[in-house]
């Protein structure tokens, strides 16, 4: 078990979590291509900080998250990943990530994404 990370602040929570939660967080929050050991790890979600809060940004966020999390399906850590974007148009959008892990257990993650 790894130390938990608060997806809003990036701080440690003091709780222990499973490694799938950290894998999701790292894959979403690391800018694509910036990790020296694996240039394919990461997402393009950081690019949305410069985008206006339009409906197409929610679609882009969902696509970027799907691309970033695809390796979890490829290596068998997840059986199914479903991503939806909630966009209240207040400068943030929230990705809800529903994952069926390798053991068949459902897990839900919520990741906030800053937009203009």
Domain boundaries, the chain: 2-114
Sequence-distant (6+) residues with CB within 8 A of 35 are: 41, 42
Taking only the tens place, the pLDDT of each residue in 33-74 is 998 988 999 999 999 999 888 989 999 999 999 999 999 999
- In CATH, what is the architecture of 2-114? Roll (3.10)
- With 70 as the cut, is the pLDDT of residue 4 above it? no
Q: What is the mean pLDDT of the chain?
A: 88
Distance between terminal CA atoms of the chain? 35
pLDDT level of residue 18 (50, 70, 90 thresholds): low
pLDDT at 17: 60
Query: Model-level pTM?
Result: 0.83
């Amino acid at each position: 078990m790894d130390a938990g990370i608060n997806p809003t602040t990036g701080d440690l929570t003091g709780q222990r979590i499973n490694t799938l939660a950290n894998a999701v967080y790292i894959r979403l929050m690391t800018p694509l291509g910036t990790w020296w050991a694996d240039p394919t790890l990461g997402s393009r979600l950081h690019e949305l900080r410069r985008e206006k809060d339009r409906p197409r940004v929610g679609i882009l966020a969902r696509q970027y998250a799907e691309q970033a999390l695809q390796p979890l399906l490829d290596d068998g850590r997840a059986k199914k990943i479903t991503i939806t974007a909630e966009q209240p148009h207040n400068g943030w959008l929230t990705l809800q990530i529903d994952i069926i892990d390798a053991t068949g257990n459902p897990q839900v993650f919520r990741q906030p994404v800053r937009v203009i």
